[in-house]
Amino acid sequence: MTSWAANGVPSDRAAWLFRVARNHLLSALRKSERAPPLEPDERGDEPTATFDDELRDEQLRMIVVCCDDRLPADSRLVLALKTLCAFSTAEIAARLFLTEANVHKRLQRARDQISRQGCWGDRLRADDFETSTPPLETVRERLPSVRAVLALLFNEGHLSTHASQAIRVELCDEAIRLATLLAQHRVGAEPETCALLAVMHLHAARLPARQDASGGLLLLEEQDRSTWDEHHLRAGAQWLERAGQGERLTRFHVEAAIAAHHCFAPSFAQTPWLEIAELYAVLEQLDPSPLHTLNRAVALAEARGAEAGLEVLRPVVPAAWLEGHWLWAAVLADLHRRAGRAEDFARHRELALSGAPSDVVRAALSRRLG
């Protein structure tokens, strides 16, 4: 906190921290009269020899390690978010639409399985659970889980469940940094990784306009588009172009296309809402989720009116994890308000406001819903 603030962040943060920790340890040993014949190294960063295929960043490498396919898919996400991304149990529960009790169960199950396999903990066996870069084919097999972790890390920064921080730019920056490193690795450099980076950069471009002077959230139609970050806009467009070099259409490709429509529309009123609705329909086919249906309803409501949006949602029976969720309730409240259904509006509005994850989000909802 002291050195980086005064002298800037070193190029290799992990190496710097390791060196400082080593120096402190040597100092402590010297005071206890058990110091080895070594002197603290004051040179700062120290280059580390690596192989070409190795993941040089420790954080990214450990995310790959946590995404071990011997663990259930949901347990991999929970383990990585908790142990490496420092998410609280409540934040993991909100991101994965789980209860906190279920998060605890998944985390304990992952730890128990690791212990039984002798991977980590007291019965560590290096041949069972290496913390160095796994073989290239293993890295390739784990890429979907790694990308899922990075996407969740970015999403928590983009709209945080934290009680006092609606936006956490440092999490977005870290997610972009790690995804960029993944895209620079010869196994990670897949079109889907490029598409994920396009999504991140395009959403990050709007971050400077998403809060007012007091820290309150600004809705998309309220934002000053002249303050959007041009560097991120250009980077997002470049990564989206690179993502188009493959033959497989993925969730991140479609999400990037949606984000691009929002970012490059001249104004909120000139946003191509029908095209966005069609893209959400594609998402429903690629990655079925009622959240995609919810977003398609929002886009259709902007293009054709609230009744068109409600027509999409009427046949949908929300899953248990979504029924009563503040996002679901907020969209229904807004559509019923615009359609003039006062009773339905009031009921869903109350659910949305009571379930909002923070005061900042609640204030934005209250302003939107009146």
- Residues 63-110: tens digit of each pLDDT: 998 888 888 888 888 988 888 888 888 888 888 888 889 999 888 888
- Judged by DSSP in three states, 211 sits in strand
pLDDT at 198: 98
| Statement to judge: residues 301 and 336 lie in one domain | no
Residue 346 to residue 356: CA distance in whole angstroms: 16
How confident is the prediction for the chain on average, in pLDDT?
86
- Look at residue 312 and tell me if it is in a domain: yes
| 351 SS3 class | helix
Distances (CA, A) of 150 to 86, 169, 198, 300: 13, 14, 13, 30
What is the percent of the chain with per-residue pLDDT over 70, rounded to a whole number?
87
pLDDT band at 121 (very low <50, low <70, confident <90, very high): very low
Q: Are residues 289 and 303 part of one domain?
A: yes
In the predicted structure, residue 200 carries a pLDDT above the cut 90: yes
Residue % of the chain over a pLDDT of 90: 55
Residues 309 and 346 in one domain: no
DSSP 84: T
Confirm whether 293 is domain-assigned.
Answer: yes
Question: Do both 331 and 360 map to the same domain?
Answer: yes
- Same structural domain, 326 and 366: yes
Q: Is 360 inside any structural domain?
A: yes
Same domain, 311 and 329: no
Q: Could you tell me which residue, 19 or 207, shows the higher pLDDT?
A: 207
Per-residue pLDDT, 127: 42
Mean pLDDT of 204-233: 94
The pLDDT-based confidence of 369 (bands split at 50, 70, 90) is very high
Q: What is the pLDDT of residue 35?
A: 47
Lowest mean pLDDT among 81-85, 139-143, 259-263, 358-362: 81-85
Q: Are residues 326 and 364 in the same domain?
A: yes
- Claim to verify: residue 370 and residue 328 sit in the same structural domain: yes
Per the structure, the complete domain to which residue 290 belongs is given by 272-316
Asked, for residue 325, whether it belongs to a domain, the answer is: yes
**Residue 349: pLDDT band by 50, 70, 90 thresholds?**
very high
Summarize the confidence of residues 285-303 as an average pLDDT: 95
**pLDDT for the residue numbered 324:** 79
pLDDT for residue 130: 53
Residue 91 has a pLDDT of: 86
Q: Which residues contact 134 (CB under 8 A, 6 or more apart)?
A: 64, 65, 142
Number of domains, the chain: 2
Beta-bridge partner residues of 177: none
Q: From CA 192, how far away is CA 180, in angstroms rounded? A: 12
> Does some domain include residue 304?
yes
pLDDT at 154: 95
197 in a structural domain: no
Strand partners, 211: 217
Asked if residue 232 has pLDDT above 90, the reply is yes
Q: Which amino acid is at 23?
A: N
129-145 in b/e burial notation, b at 16+ Cβ within 10 A? beeebbeeebbeebbeb
- Give the residue, 41 or 232, on which the prediction is more confident: 232
Answer yes or no: do 291 and 331 share one domain: no
Lowest mean pLDDT among 103-117, 312-326, 337-351: 103-117
pLDDT over threshold 90, residue 25: no
pLDDT tens digits for range 254-293: 999 999 999 999 999 999 999 999 999 999 999 999 999 9
For residue 120, pLDDT beyond 50: no
Name the pLDDT band for 37 (thresholds 50, 70, 90): low
Alpha-carbon Rg for the chain, nearest whole angstrom, is 23
Which of 98-102, 141-145, 158-162 has the largest mean confidence?
A: 141-145
- Virtual CA dihedral for 275, 299, 251, 244, nearest 10 degrees? 30
Residue 349 lies in a domain: yes
Judge whether 54 lies within some domain.
Answer: no
